[in-house]
Amino acid sequence: MAEIRVMRKVLASNDALAASQLEQLDRNSVFGVNIMSGPGAGKTSLVERTIEALGSKYRVYVIEGDIQGSLDAERVAALGVPVTQINTQGACHLDGLMMSSVFPGIDFSQVDLLLIENVGNLVCPAEFTLPVHCNVTIISTPEGSDKPVKYPLMFTKSDIIVINKIDLLPHVDFDAEELSRAVRKLKPDIPVIRMSTKTGEGVDGWISWLEEKLTGRKEGQGRLS
Residue 158 located in a structural domain:
yes
Residue 219 located in a structural domain:
no
How far is 157 from 220, CA to CA, in rounded Å?
24
Residue 216: pLDDT band (50, 70, 90) is confident
Domain count along the chain: 1
pLDDT (0 to 100) of residue 65 = 97
Do residues 94 and 118 make contact, with C-beta atoms less than 8 angstroms apart?
yes
Q: Worst-scoring range by mean pLDDT, 2-11, 126-135, 159-168, 182-191?
A: 2-11
pLDDT (0 to 100) of residue 220 = 60
Residue 157 located in a structural domain:
yes
Q: What tens digit of pLDDT does each residue of 68-95 get?
A: 999 999 999 999 999 999 999 999 999 9
Please state, rounded to an integer, the average pLDDT across all residues of the chain. Answer: 93
pTM of the model: 0.93
Residue 167 located in a structural domain:
yes
Q: What tens digit of pLDDT does each residue of 95-145 get?
A: 999 999 999 999 999 999 999 999 999 999 999 999 999 999 999 999 999
Residue 142 located in a structural domain:
yes
Residue 215 located in a structural domain:
no
CATH at 197: 3.40.50.300
CB count, 10 Å around CB of 48? Answer: 20
For residue 153, what are the domain limits? 12-210
Q: Where are the alpha helices (DSSP H) in the chain?
A: 2-27, 43-54, 71-77, 96-100, 147-150, 152-156, 176-186, 203-218
Residue 23 located in a structural domain:
yes
Residue 3 located in a structural domain:
no
Do residues 134 and 159 make contact, with C-beta atoms less than 8 angstroms apart?
yes
